[in-house]
Structure 1
Amino acid sequence: MPNRRDVAVVGRGIQPIHVRQTNQRAILSVISLQPGISNAELSRVTQLAPQTVSAVLVDLERAHLITRGEVLRGKRGQPATPVFLNPDGAFCIGAEIGWNHIEICLVGIGTQVLARYRRDYDYPDAATVFDELRTVSAQMTGKLTAAQKRRLIGLGLAMPGGVGDTSSLIPPPPGQEELWGALNAAEAAAATTGLKVTLFNDGSAACWAERVALPAPRPLSFVYLLIDTFVGAGIVAENRLWEGFSGNSANLGSMLVTDLEGHSRFVHEVASLHALRAQLAAAGCPLSAVHEDNPPAAARAVLDKWIADASFALAQTIINTARVMEFERAVVEAVLPGPIIARLIEATREHIGRFPTLGRHSPAVAAGQLGRSGAAEGAALLRMHRRFFSRELAHMDA
């Protein structure tokens, strides 16, 4: 008997409603990238008939997803009416339950962040964190008008894998293994908030936020590495987020690399803030010391060694990933001061430049646009992307 999953993947047909949704999403995507575009230009860019474009725009306007500007006259051809994405057309809550913090934000369809909340902790407490998510989400949505509340499409939740797992590099405190093991995070978030919830890997969500923040022309394919408690990662391949069947495919932090002493290590063990924090603690310094304008000598020495070790690990990760898939750019982001990120990236480039190459050119390495983790807003943006912009068949019913 064939595998049911195989049949579901290759055997799903396209219904007429999906054709209409595909056209709507194609047009909405173009409007989001080219605000003020006209009907005629939409027809040219999407290669849809003018009457099809007009009909779709009527539907989108009824759904409050677009607005029309004043008619532009005086140019060649018929008067043109510019079309814009309606910033009040849809809203989504984005949340990240991370290893050491929770972040919640309210995001509009135009990518604007309307509210943001963050709290740091030692470890996510499964007994209280979802109640906190409910309370803060309710406070944020309570400021919306009645019409805006009707356009709230749900909640995107970003989380790392391994929370509550005793085999993790950060073992759970007493009682947390049982609490996390007994719940499904998406179901728990939905039950407490009353919203529809989609769960995303934190690295993938942060990667998507980076993609949205990138100025045009965006690279079609890039690898994203986030230096946070651990090394989160995401991959955009041909403009699509590569998530895999489980949603955790871009787990580059778990890649084995060789450290400067020749030992095999996980990238998490070398290039993460968890590693930097442990090394600073051994020298009698807190992690906050490296955020100071003039860190103590002991902290500077630890930081210098960490940058050397981390950049070597990141360079191997980037090169190895580039041998599996083609991408134009590797983006390195870190929850660290800008000058430290710049040093880390420059050291990574130097290591890549010293590695032998066979065939393909080495990818460029660039700093991120956000200067921080964008996992919370990325989760909201991803949920809205699936709902309004994605033309993948699996997302048509999102």
Structure 2
Amino acid sequence: MLLLLQHSQYDLIMSQGSNSSTLRQYNERIVISVLRKTGAASKADLSRHMGLTLPAMTRIVDELETRGLIEKSGRRSQGVGQPSHLYQINENGLFSIGVKLGRQNIELVLANFAGDLLAKTTRDYQSPSPNDLLNLIEHEVSLLIKKLSPTQITRFTGIGIAMPWFIGKWVAQHEMSDQQATEWRDFDFASDLGARIQYPIFFENDCSAAAAAEMHFGKYPNLQNFLYVYVGTLIGGGLVLNGDLERGIHSNAACLATLPVPRSALDSAGADKNWDTLVNRASITTLLNHLQYHQVIIDHISELPTIIDQHRALVHDWMVDCADSLLYGIMASISFLDLEAVVIDSELPGYLLSELVSMVQRRLDALTQENLFIPKLHQGSLGEDAIAIGGAILPLYSHFAPDRTILLKGGVPDRLSN
């Protein structure tokens, strides 16, 4: 939410000692956010947008430029007088590494302050132990950092880990053995990783991080209130309200997987229950199970693109069922959240995601609800990289978050493991 202050309020608060630092950090974050959305803006543009005096905005912009976070991008001639300087994000202002810790793979990206990916690494695995993951992260992080120049390393801000909570309970989904689940429950992942890596480490729920990535680097920069849906190995979500990531009191907002929905119509789903949960209908794991039921066997999610065309009818059946269940999930969400949009992203190939979003849109269009505002539906912008890019955002924005509780630095809640 934008903090709009009249010039007298701003100047008063700026003179009040300890509060001035917090306000300055907040306004710096807003300036960075505005420049991301507009591409470039003058001091006068920023002053009008934020309701601050031009001298106050000049101090903020000059400070950000001195620190190398923004840079001049040209001039704008407008009427009489000197042309005004335009400012943009300095892509070399900061660097970070984002880590997506998934159920079947790990993805690491090296990103600059503009959100551009400078390098990317993906490693597949099955049911990793904590130590195996620590060794892998430590090794891959060291390789990525070596890609930075000595000057760039001085602007390296840290590593963001985007991961699902409750890893120790993956045994319930038959994704790890009882022994591995016990290892995770008894393991302090954050502490042990921090002991191996000298840089600051930040943690966030995987799909909340992806929602933050969509908010800052996606195709819809003006969206302020939206539900983010990510169809991955399982399904997850994130929630953006008033332009900020809403994490919830337990950092688990928009946990869509457990939403109750009617049972699937797929023959692979069985008919032993009338109701199910969204994760059992709208996830790539469900697609793989449906394919396996029809004797199409693949060992890993990464193999999916190689068999889609050959078995398009089976994939289409799953997509119809997935779209039906997503409609229930969206309707349940907007019953208590007044949203302007829903953004759906996925690890699915882009053309399949486009088709899935269109199918959900047709279902929304067919609704006759008169007491609800139906949100706009958008396809996500970042695809399979969304979660890793979300991880990379965490250290970048630790410098600008107005509420430091938005980011968890150095530690994670108990639900990470159990």
| TM exceeding 0.5 | yes
Structure 1 consecutive aligned stretches of length 4 or more whose deviation exceeds 6 Å: none
User: What is the aligned length?
Assistant: 383
State the match for 2:46 in structure 1: 42
Q: Does 1:304 align with 2:313?
A: no
Q: Which has the higher mean CA deviation after the structures are superposed, 76-85 or 315-324?
A: 76-85
Q: Which has the higher mean CA deviation after the structures are superposed, 32-41 or 189-198?
A: 32-41
How much does 1:146 deviate? 2.0
Matched AA of 1:138: S
Kept after mapping to 1: 8 A contact 2:130/2:183: yes
State the match for 2:345 in structure 1: 333
The within-5 A match list for 1:119-130 is: 119-130=123-134
How much does 1:23 deviate? 2.8
Kept after mapping to 1: 8 A contact 2:36/2:216: no
Write the distance in 2 (CA, Å) between the matches of 1:359 and 1:74. Answer: 47
State the match for 1:9 in structure 2: none
How much does 1:32 deviate? 3.1
Q: Which has the higher mean CA deviation after the structures are superposed, 177-186 or 87-96?
A: 177-186
Q: Which has the higher mean CA deviation after the structures are superposed, 156-165 or 34-43?
A: 34-43
Write the distance in 1 (CA, Å) between the matches of 2:355 and 2:128. Answer: 31
Kept after mapping to 2: 8 A contact 1:316/1:352: no
How much does 1:197 deviate? 1.3
Q: Which has the higher mean CA deviation after the structures are superposed, 114-123 or 67-76?
A: 67-76
How much does 1:142 deviate? 1.4
Q: 1:52 aligns with which of 35, 39, 56?
A: 56
State the match for 2:110 in structure 1: 106
State the match for 1:272 in structure 2: 283
Per the normalisation by structure 2, the TM-score is: 0.83
How much does 1:191 deviate? 2.1
Kept after mapping to 2: 8 A contact 1:186/1:198: no
Give the direction of change, closer, same or farther, for the CA distance of 1:74–1:334 in structure 2 (3 Å limit): closer
Give the direction of change, closer, same or farther, for the CA distance of 1:97–1:84 in structure 2 (3 Å limit): same
State the match for 1:132 in structure 2: 136
Matched AA of 2:232: D
Give the direction of change, closer, same or farther, for the CA distance of 1:187–1:246 in structure 2 (3 Å limit): farther
Larger relative contact order (CA 8 Å, sep ≥ 6): 2
State the match for 1:350 in structure 2: 362
Q: 2:294 aligns with which of 259, 283, 287?
A: 283
How much does 1:325 deviate? 0.2
Write the distance in 2 (CA, Å) between the matches of 1:229 and 1:397. Answer: 25
How much does 1:355 deviate? 4.6
The within-5 A match list for 1:96-245 is: 96-165=100-169, 168-173=172-177, 175-216=179-220, 218-245=222-249
Matched AA of 1:27: V
C-alpha offsets along residues 127-156 of structure 1, whole Å, 9 cap, x if unaligned?
A: 211121111111111121222112111111
Matched AA of 1:149: I
How much does 1:281 deviate? 1.3
Matched AA of 2:230: L
Kept after mapping to 2: 8 A contact 1:387/1:395: no
How much does 1:394 deviate? 4.1
Matched AA of 1:173: S
SS of equivalent residue, structure 1 residue 88: coil
Write the distance in 2 (CA, Å) between the matches of 1:201 and 1:82. Answer: 36
* Percent identical: 25
Kept after mapping to 2: 8 A contact 1:21/1:396: no
How much does 1:363 deviate? 2.3
Kept after mapping to 2: 8 A contact 1:101/1:124: no
Q: Which has the higher mean CA deviation after the structures are superposed, 98-107 or 271-280?
A: 271-280
Give the direction of change, closer, same or farther, for the CA distance of 1:386–1:357 in structure 2 (3 Å limit): farther
How much does 1:260 deviate? 4.6
Give the direction of change, closer, same or farther, for the CA distance of 1:52–1:342 in structure 2 (3 Å limit): closer
Matched AA of 2:144: M
How much does 1:48 deviate? 1.7
Q: Which runs of 5+ in 2 are unaligned?
A: 1-16, 266-272, 410-418
Kept after mapping to 2: 8 A contact 1:210/1:369: yes
State the match for 1:383 in structure 2: 395
How much does 1:350 deviate? 3.5
Write the distance in 1 (CA, Å) between the matches of 2:406 and 2:248. Answer: 14
SS of equivalent residue, structure 1 residue 271: coil
How much does 1:72 deviate? 5.6
How much does 1:354 deviate? 4.5
SS of equivalent residue, structure 1 residue 324: coil
Write the distance in 2 (CA, Å) between the matches of 1:86 and 1:301. Answer: 48
How much does 1:100 deviate? 0.5
How much does 1:358 deviate? 4.2
Q: Which runs of 5+ in 1 are unaligned?
A: 1-12
Give the direction of change, closer, same or farther, for the CA distance of 1:74–1:242 in structure 2 (3 Å limit): closer
Give the direction of change, closer, same or farther, for the CA distance of 1:199–1:350 in structure 2 (3 Å limit): same
Kept after mapping to 2: 8 A contact 1:163/1:172: no
SS of equivalent residue, structure 1 residue 381: helix
How much does 1:98 deviate? 0.5
The within-5 A match list for 1:308-319 is: 308-319=320-331
Give the direction of change, closer, same or farther, for the CA distance of 1:338–1:93 in structure 2 (3 Å limit): closer
Kept after mapping to 2: 8 A contact 1:233/1:252: yes
State the match for 1:322 in structure 2: 334
